[in-house]
Amino acid sequence: MNTPERAVLLSLHPRFATAILSGEKTVELRRQRVAVPPGTPVIIYATSPVMALTGTARLTDVDTAPPTQIWRRHRTNCGITRAEYTAYMDGASQASALLLDSARPLSTTVPLDYLRAASAFHPPQSYRYLTPQVLQQLVAGHDAAAELLDHLPTPSSAARTPRTTPLQTSPTPPLEARLGDAPPAAAVRQAGVDFTATVALTVVVGTALGCF
């Protein structure tokens, strides 16, 4: 299995975030297909009134099927009642069960205000991806930075990096862009033909006029 290059940030009600981090709940539900590869690190964001990053986990698998089948297969691990499940899945044709393990709470939560101090961060309504670089910018300098960054394939020195303004990247431009105003090969060849024809015409005219 390839090492994931990004994590999934899950927004959860505090009740469910706490249940996952305590090991009581090992399946998180979504009412649509979720295409996240197994082994992906998970970062848990607890919604209001907590509004903070509270822990991490690992995604072991995603089971997608009609809601009735998902309930039969995962009802003992999803941490909700049948009535809550039915109300949540009302109108959904597909459901996804996100199977989690290795859950652990952060020693110090990272509040939303801290995350927003680094960038225009907005917690997702369901989930979003985070690259190691983005996560580093969000939590740099925080006491929990090492715990979060160690969960991703990020250099260990990243946790000690002081918070700065968001990084501005300058990707290498395509080859044709780096050539600037250099004319294309076809134009160069055509210029050579035009120059040869001009020289030949000059010689003919000059000979006729007795210039050569």
Query: Could you read off the pLDDT of 165-182 as tens digits, one per residue?
Result: 443 333 333 323 333 333
Q: Is the peptide bond before 162 cis (omega within 30 degrees of 0)?
A: no
Do residues 123 and 11 touch, judged by C-beta distance below 8 A?
A: yes
Please give the model's pTM, rounded to 2 decimal places: 0.71
Closest-CA residue to 168 (of 119, 96, 100, 101): 119
The C-alpha torsion from 188 through 189 and 193 to 195, rounded to 10°, is 20
Single-letter amino acid, residue 27 = V
> Measured between alpha carbons, how far is 89 from 112 in angstroms, rounded to an integer?
29
The confidence band for 1, taking pLDDT boundaries of 50, 70 and 90, is very low
pLDDT, tens digit, 9 for 90 and up, residues 65-120: 999 999 999 999 999 999 999 999 999 999 999 999 999 999 999 999 999 998 88
Q: Is residue 60 classed as helix, strand or coil in its secondary structure?
A: strand
